[in-house]
C-alpha cells in the first residue's frame, strides 16, 4: 500500500515535546516516525525556537530519531546532511533580506510603540536577531491586549505581522511563516499538499494548519481554541490525548485505510 503521508510537519513545544513528561517525546511516537522515515516519509520539526535551543533540548530528550528538515524561528529552513543541519541558502538569504527591509520601515515608529507599551503594561520588551521588538507578557490576558494593539499597528506597515505563541510575541514578515516554509520544503521534495501532515497546538502554528499546505491536519488535546477550530474547519483530527501522544494518535488515524 502506498504511504499516504510523505511529509510530516510537527510543532515542537507543547506538540511533539512536553518538558515535564518522561520521556518528553513519547517513545512510541519516536518509533512511529522512524518507521515512516524508513518507508520514505520526511519529517520536519517546525518551531519558533532557534538552532542552539532546539539542538540542546533534543539532546537532553535523548531522542532516537532525527528530523530531515528544520524550520526555525518560524521561517528559516535547514536540511539534515550527514551529521549537521545546513541552511537552505536561497530561501534563508531572501528571508533575511526581506526582513531587514521591512524592519527598516518599522524602526522609526518603535520608540512610540515601546513607550505606549510601557505606559499601559508591565511586560518584558527586548530586541533579538530576528525581530526589533520581542515581548513576554505576564499572562495571556495581558498578551491579548498587547496583541490587539500590535495588530492594529501592523496595519500601518505593509506585510508586517505579529507572531504569537502563548505569552511570547515578535514582529515578522507575513510572507515567511511555518506554512510558507513548509510549502517550500514540500515543493523542493516534489510532494503535493495532499501528502503532507501538519500538527500544532498554538497560534504560531496556524499558518501551517491550512489545507493550502497540508491535507492531513491535527492538534493534540492541549491545543488552544483557535487551533482546534482551524483543524476542525479543515476537516482535521483532534486528539483526546495531550502532546506527543496526541500526535501519534493523529498519524495513526490518517494511516488507517478508509472506506469512501
Residue 43 belongs to a domain with what CATH number? 3.40.50.1000
Domain limit, last residue, from 130, 145, 173: 173
**pLDDT < 50: residue spans in the chain:** 259-260
Residues 65 and 13 in one domain: yes
DSSP 183: H
Residues 49 and 105 in one domain: no
Please state, as a whole number, how many other Cβ atoms lie within 10 Å of the Cβ of residue 63: 18
The sign of the dihedral angle between the CA atoms of 90, 93, 98, 101 is negative
Residues 198 and 168 in one domain: no
**Does some domain include residue 27?**
yes
Domain limit, last residue, from 140, 173, 206: 173
Give SS3 for 158: coil
Residues 108 and 132 in one domain: yes
Q: At what angle do helices 243-255 and 27-38 cross, to 10 degrees?
A: 40
Q: How far is the C-alpha of 120 from the C-alpha of 143, rounded, in Å?
A: 12
Is the pTM of the predicted complex or chain greater than 0.85? Answer: yes
Residues 187 and 250 in one domain: yes
Residues 167 and 182 in one domain: no
pLDDT tens column, 20-59? 999 999 999 999 999 999 999 999 999 999 999 999 999 9
**Domain that includes residue 34, residue range:** 7-74+177-255
DSSP 205: G
Number of domains composing the chain? 2
Nine cell digits for residue 41: 516519509
**Does some domain include residue 84?**
no
Best CA proximity match to 219, nearest among 243, 203, 196, 252: 243
What confidence score (pLDDT) does residue 256 get? 87
**Does some domain include residue 21?**
yes
**Does some domain include residue 51?**
yes
**Does some domain include residue 31?**
yes
Domain limit, last residue, from 173, 204, 237: 173
Amino acid at each position: 500500500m502506498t504511504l499516504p503521508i510523505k511529509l510530516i510537519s510537527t510543532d515542537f513545544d507543547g506538540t511533539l515535546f512536553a518538558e515535564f513528561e518522561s520521556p518528553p517525546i513519547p517513545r512510541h511516537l519516536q518509533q512511529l516516525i522512524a518507521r515512516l522515515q524508513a518507508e520514505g516519509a520526511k519529517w520536519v520539526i517546525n518551531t519558533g525556537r532557534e538552532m542552539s535551543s532546539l539542538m540542546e533540548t533534543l539532546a537532553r530528550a535523548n531522542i532516537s530519531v532525527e528530523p530531515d528538515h528544520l524550520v526555525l524561528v518560524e521561517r528559516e529552513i535547514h536540511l539534515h546532511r550527514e551529521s549537521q543541519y545546513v541552511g537552505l541558502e536561497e530561501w534563508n538569504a531572501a528571508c533575511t533580506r526581506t526582513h531587514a527591509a521591512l524592519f527598516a520601515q518599522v524602526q522609526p515608529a518603535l520608540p512610540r510603540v515601546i513607550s505606549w507599551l510601557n505606559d499601559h503594561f508591565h511586560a518584558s520588551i527586548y530586541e533579538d536577531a530576528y525581530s526589533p521588538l520581542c515581548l513576554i507578557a505576564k499572562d495571556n490576558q495581558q498578551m491579548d491586549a498587547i496583541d490587539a494593539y500590535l495588530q492594529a499597528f501592523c496595519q500601518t506597515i505593509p506585510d508586517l505581522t505579529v507572531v504569537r505563541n502563548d505569552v511570547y510575541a515578535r514582529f515578522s514578515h507575513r510572507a515567511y511563516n511555518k506554512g510558507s516554509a513548509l510549502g517550500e520544503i514540500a515543493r523542493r521534495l516534489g510532494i503535493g499538499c495532499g501528502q503532507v501532515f501538519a500538527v500544532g497546538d498554538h497560534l504560531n502554528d496556524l499558518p501551517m494548519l491550512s489545507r493550502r499546505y497540508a491535507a492531513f491536519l491535527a492538534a493534540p488535546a492541549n491545543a488552544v481554541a483557535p487551533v482546534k477550530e482551524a483543524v476542525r474547519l479543515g476537516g482535521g483530527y483532534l486528539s483526546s490525548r495531550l502532546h506527543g501522544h496526541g500526535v501519534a494518535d493523529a498519524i495513526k488515524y490518517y494511516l488507517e485505510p478508509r472506506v469512501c
